A and B are shown apart, each in its own frame.
Chain A
């Protein structure tokens, strides 16, 4: 096996790191699903308020999305604009 250069090691670790970062997606998935459930429940209880209920649900879901996007941003940085390689 050829010797591993420092750069290769950093890049390899970046690939693993990008994958690990995406695990964060678990949270928004669970949370937004809960919101979807409560939304469905709410519309069932008061169908005439569907518009308000859906709007509130989407607003809350948008907030819940943030950490998923943070994870995505970090993964994309590690893949496409990796600052670690340049620090070597």
Chain B
């Protein structure tokens, strides 16, 4: 093939380095990608903090309860940030890809893909933070309903975590049980599939934000009409289930790319 082809040249240049160096540098990039997830908890918890300040300014007597709900909700919103941190730390300190025998390019792509996948954590962070803020606001208004409001908030937040967990699963699969590494096939297709699987999981941002919004509104509604908690929660969960669909589509595409890749057979 004509070596003026820039992709070929790029790969030839890459191959002048030793394989280990390449995998390690890809891991560094992957770790960086993973940490982008931190945007989410930042936005979400900031919203919760704002709602906390607002609640306290409106009614100082409920300060303790408002702050408790704010911190509880914000702690949940932290989850995806911590999951991303764990993946980044694995890539940096306990990278399993370094010791694996396999195609260097595929291993590199897996490290980067595992990081990209974690970007999805942005969604749950924002959504759960919104729920925390709305929960805080509702408790600040009617502190007597704290337990009902918190219960609906936590249920909603738990659902909002789903797509973050999907992303974590794909990320860990690529690091610890990567099916692409042992496969026979054109290396550039294997490599691109690992990247594609990671990219697909970014979709998880949406369900995370949306479901978190629903959780917040659910908590708000329970604060207004606690008698109808069951109906409110049911409607919230139904809507959240629908909001999950695109996250599941992304998971399916990522799993197809990893385990039943049709491109390798073409």
Contacts and interface: CB of A to CB of B under 8 A. Distances in A.
**Do chains A and B interact in one complex?**
yes
A75 B231 CA distance: 37
Interface string B4-22: 0101100110010000000
Contact of A25 (B203, B213, B262): B203
A11 B8 CA distance: 16
Contacts, number: 246
Contacts of A13: 192
A1 interface: yes
B239 interface: yes
Contacts of B257: 15, 18-19, 79
B207 A33 contact: yes
Interface residues of A, number: 60
B266 A85 contact: yes
B202 A26 contact: yes
A38 B242 CA distance: 14
20 contacts: A4-B188, A14-B263, A16-B195, A17-B196, A18-B257, A19-B253, A19-B254, A24-B203, A25-B203, A26-B202, A29-B243, A32-B210, A33-B207, A36-B243, A38-B217, A44-B222, A44-B225, A65-B242, A65-B246, A75-B200
Given A3-B8, A28-B245, A80-B262, 10 more contacts: A4-B11, A11-B186, A12-B191, A19-B198, A26-B203, A27-B206, A33-B211, A33-B213, A40-B214, A47-B225
